[in-house]
Amino acid sequence: MYEKDESNNKLLLRLAKLDYHLLQILYQQELSEIIRWGKDLDIVTKVPYARDRIVECYFWAVGTYYEPQYSLARMTFAKAIVFCGMIDDTYDAYGTLDELQIFTESIERWDGNGIDQLSDYLKAAYTMLLNFNKELEEDLAKKRRTFAFDKYIEEWKQYMRTSFTQSKWFLTNKLPSFADYLSNGMITSSYYLLPSAAFLGVDGASEDVIKWMSTNPKLFVALTTHGRLINDVGSHKFEKERGSGTAIECYMKDYNVSEEEAMKKLEEMYEDTWKIMNKECLRPTTIPREILNVILNLARVCEVVYKHRGDGFTDQRRIEAHIKAMIMDSISVCG
């Protein structure tokens, strides 16, 4: 846009383009590293029912914080999203009710006990998640950031408790009310878990910020409601095909409306959440702007991935152009 301005400063424009190229090289290096990490982890073989979305998870991380100084935070966050996706697929598409109960209870202990009764795939999923977070805890302990890690682990437990609740509803064909589904789904949206993961590597995320997450209900209710509803509208077809469910069915049952009417209502609801998020982020606060941007960027990325009633996480073609533009496509420095 600036290049189209006839009065642009040619030197400034050239420097900006060169700066972007350097940033793009950093993204490519990070992506290469996380792809190698994914191959070593070997989720595809050990947990074959889980979607292999390493690149898409990294895209999510770059969309959350793109600046070069957040390189380590980006990598940590992208890996956490990989595990979040694996656990989501475990509850939605693979485990039996008995297995998922044992799985959830094992996470409460966070020590690996009790998993002998699980299938090999669920054992592998649990062990990989446990090992990843133990290594993360050791790294954060060196940086004296264990307060952030404690919050992060509690959010993991909450995420898995509510995922089990959702699985019980749909595996037993006991459709909850829309209100109950949404209350539970605000947590299964992962948008309490993901901010806590995102803040692990951000210097401005002090202990006060971690507490602030619990004391700013309007912002986080809006964020998690947005995440749950836009995800459900976008992934509704996919979830139906694999035997899970979404808010659509619950709304249709409660209000006796068609699928199309339910989807339109949910779209109105998640559009309204933007008004709340914008308003809350414009209020005077001692929280650094960089932290507020992380919250808004999480919602922005979700909007990109699930816009137009699509599921860009499952069908990567929907966001392929965005990924190429951000990581691969160059900008002409001359001209």
- Buried b / exposed e across 304-316, counting CB within 10 Å, b at 16+? ebbeeebbbbbeb
The amino acid present at 174, given as its one-letter code, is K
> How many CA atoms does the CB half-sphere of 101 hold within 13 Å?
4
Q: Answer yes or no: is pLDDT of 195 > 90.
A: no
Asked whether residue 6 is domain-assigned, the answer is no
Q: What is the tens place of the pLDDT at every residue in 145-157?
A: 777 888 889 999 9
pLDDT (mean) for 191-198: 89
What percent of the chain is predicted at pLDDT more than 90?
A: 66
CATH number of the domain enclosing 306: 1.10.600.10
* Nearest Cα residue to 203 out of 290, 279, 127, 135: 290
CA dihedral sign of residues 157, 158, 163, 166: positive
pLDDT (0 to 100) of residue 203: 67
Asked whether residue 239 is domain-assigned, the answer is yes
Quote the tokens at residue 82: 């990989």
The amino acid present at 177, given as its one-letter code, is S
Residue 109: pLDDT band by 50, 70, 90 thresholds? confident
* Nearest Cα residue to 190 out of 41, 68, 57: 57
Quote the tokens at residue 104: 């959830």
Asked whether residue 96 is domain-assigned, the answer is yes
Asked whether residue 333 is domain-assigned, the answer is no
pLDDT (mean) for 32-36: 97
Average model confidence (pLDDT) across the chain: 90
C-alpha 191/C-alpha 37 separation (Å) is: 24
The amino acid present at 213, given as its one-letter code, is M
Residue 63: pLDDT band by 50, 70, 90 thresholds? very high
Asked whether residue 335 is domain-assigned, the answer is no
C-alpha 22/C-alpha 150 separation (Å) is: 35
Least confident of 25-29, 125-129, 202-206: 202-206
Asked whether residue 2 is domain-assigned, the answer is no
Residue 208: pLDDT band by 50, 70, 90 thresholds? low
pLDDT (mean) for 223-233: 94
pLDDT (0 to 100) of residue 285: 82
Q: What is the tens place of the pLDDT at every residue in 67-90?
A: 999 998 899 999 999 999 999 999
- The reported pTM is 0.93
Q: What is the tens place of the pLDDT at every residue in 243-264?
A: 788 999 999 999 999 999 999 9
Q: What is the tens place of the pLDDT at every residue in 272-291?
A: 999 999 998 898 888 888 88
What's the longest Cα–Cα distance across the chain? 70
Q: Distances from the Cα of 14 to the Cαs of 21, 24, 333, in angstroms?
A: 11, 15, 6
pLDDT (mean) for 194-220: 76
Domain count for the chain, please give it: 1
Q: Which long-range contacts (CB under 8 A, 24 or more apart) does 105-114 make?
A: 107/156, 107/157, 107/160, 108/157, 108/161, 110/153, 110/157
What range does the domain containing 53 cover?
Answer: 11-327
Q: Answer yes or no: is pLDDT of 130 > 80.
A: yes
Asked whether residue 169 is domain-assigned, the answer is yes
> How many CA atoms does the CB half-sphere of 245 hold within 13 Å?
25
**DSSP SS3 for 204:** coil
pLDDT (0 to 100) of residue 207: 66
The amino acid present at 260, given as its one-letter code, is E
Residue 142: pLDDT band by 50, 70, 90 thresholds? confident
pLDDT (mean) for 45-69: 94
C-alpha 312/C-alpha 308 separation (Å) is: 10
Asked whether residue 253 is domain-assigned, the answer is yes
